[in-house]
Amino acid sequence: MFRIRYVATAKNIRGRGIGAALYEFVRDESLGMSAEGLFFECLPDDPENCSDTDKRKQNQARMRFYERYGARPIVGTGYETPLPGGTDSELPHLMYDGLDQTKALSPEYARPVVQAVLERKYSEICTPDYIRKVVRSFGTSMKLRDFRYIKSVPILPPAERHLSPIAMTVNDRHDIHHIRERGYVESPVRIKAILSQLEPSGLVETMAVKEYPLKHIKAVHDPEFVEYLRRACANAPENTSVYPYVFPIRNATRPPKELSVRAGYYCIDTFTPINRNAWPAARRAVDCTLAAADQILEGRPIAYALVRPPGHHAERRSFGGFCYFNNAAVAAHYLSQFGKVAMLDIDYHHGNGQQDIFYSRSDVLTVSIHGDPDFAYPYFTGFADERGEGEGEGFNLNIPLPVLQDGEQYRRALKRAIAVIKDFRPTFLVVPLGLDPAKGDPTGTWTLNPADFEENARLIAGLELPALVVQEGGYRTRTLGTNARHFFKGLTSGAVGFRVVH
């Protein structure tokens, strides 16, 4: 738990006073504990239930205060039922604050809460029978009262109302994508491993994800390729993965007719399959990444899209390396409408996807530090002499590194990359984050430890840029979470920091 050291407020924030600061603290704490919402009581604000004008005015002021947060009385229930033999005035309303999350309050969720409130707060005056009746009254007619004092909930820059420094989105549909074949290291447990370390750390705050139109994906991927993936996944046999097995590298104008055969027309390897769940999981990963990008646009200094399937091997018109859509590239393009973007790929493997996508653009700088393609996947890109073309010439930087590399050696390359990014003067930084440079990773050969990840992130934070971090590889599940936690600790402890208003 946090300890409050001081409370300060400013006149431009929602609620203004000390009461607001405290209430917002409670809200942030609740969000930090992954609560769906807050329940509490507030005295009635209408003449029928509160005849004393002065008291009513006070109650109305309280209700107005809570409405600013979207909190309102739950109506359509028997919560205000007078106790047998009790007076029937001034019974408190039960209030609900959904904490700016999109989930609606359901009777199933409310009932046990109501039961707990009545049993713990009023056990001396409420009979079990009374409690049972009131709990049962939370049914289909239950709803939140309409706003009475304000028109809608004002949205404030999130940096002003959150205590956690990092806005995180998590692909809630990632685990439908589970390839069970032997050796498929890109598995659902990766997300769990990272969450288990980040959630209790106080570093992250999980944000809601919405659906974005397909046009964002088609802005960086060939629309025909996108449509192919959609159809091929939808038509894939149930519970079976189709692996590309024919690679028509000649006759590009004649893609094979059969959808499963055509996989090799669009895929760069033999281990990234087509299956029913790949499309919805991959699309949701893009939605998460765009939602995180929106957090950056709303003023959050750091946002993190914890997603799988990963994306940085997906090129304009090809998938591969466990990747289908290039999540980070979709977001980078999205952000590029608002200013120049630098992408710093720190996965062990070359970020061939965004290199291909932005190769002839000068408004998105692509930088990648990775195992030399002479020995590391994807083997055919990532060489130092690939520098961009046309207008994009000089805006792609590859730093291939040798087989053996410890943290100190790695940081020499990282410092070089950071200097190039600084010269580029971008508005945004997008970091495809691979945790596979870690010691013991089954897909890598380097030996970075948690302290190295922290130090690397501290150097990146020195750029003082709003940073969107997108999860890519990293497959040693035993250390994934620890390395992620250290990385984000480093990212927040540097100059990027975070602004806490109260």
CA gap 274, 338 in Å, rounded = 35
CB of 50 or CB of 307, closer to Zn ion: 307
CB of 308 to Zn ion, least distance (A): 12
> Taking a C-beta distance cutoff of 8 angstroms, is the pair 330, 282 a contact?
no
What residues have CB less than 8 Å from 240, skipping those under 6 apart?
A: 275
Q: Is 169 helix (H, G, I), strand (E, B) or coil?
A: strand
CB of 201 to Zn ion, least distance (A): 24
What residues have CB less than 8 Å from 269, skipping those under 6 apart?
A: 244, 320, 321, 377, 378
Q: Which residues of 212-238 are buried (b: 16+ CB within 10 A; e: fewer)?
A: beeebbeebbeeebbebbeebbeebee
CB of 309 or CB of 473, closer to Zn ion: 473
CB of 164 or CB of 354, closer to Zn ion: 354
**Which residue is closest to Zn ion by CB?**
473
Q: What is the largest CA-CA distance in the chain?
A: 88
CB of 292 to Zn ion, least distance (A): 20
- The residue within the footprint of Zn ion, chosen from 434, 437, 466, 490 (CB under 5 A), is 434
The verdict on whether 313 is a catalytic residue reads yes
CB of 37 or CB of 382, closer to Zn ion: 382
CB of 396 to Zn ion, least distance (A): 18
Question: In this chain, which stretch among 82-90, 162-170, 435-443, 489-497 interacts with Zn ion, using CB under 5 A?
Answer: 435-443
- The residue within the footprint of Zn ion, chosen from 347, 356, 454, 455 (CB under 5 A), is 347
CB of 79 or CB of 348, closer to Zn ion: 348
Joined together, the tokens standing for residue 147 give 């706003």
- The residue within the footprint of Zn ion, chosen from 32, 98, 426, 473 (CB under 5 A), is 473
CB of 473 to Zn ion, least distance (A): 3
> Taking a C-beta distance cutoff of 8 angstroms, is the pair 170, 191 a contact?
yes
Helix H or strand E segment including 431: strand 428-433
CB of 446 to Zn ion, least distance (A): 11
- Residue among 177, 216, 313, 333 flagged as catalytic: 313
What residues have CB less than 8 Å from 25, skipping those under 6 apart?
A: 2, 4, 7, 163, 502
Per-residue x/- mask for Zn ion, residues 436 to 455, rule CB under 5 A? x-------------------
- The residue within the footprint of Zn ion, chosen from 162, 349, 370, 502 (CB under 5 A), is 349
CB of 20 or CB of 448, closer to Zn ion: 448
> Taking a C-beta distance cutoff of 8 angstroms, is the pair 288, 331 a contact?
no
CA gap 54, 490 in Å, rounded = 53
Catalytic center residues? 313
**Residues near Zn ion, by CB under 5 A:** 347-349, 434, 436, 473
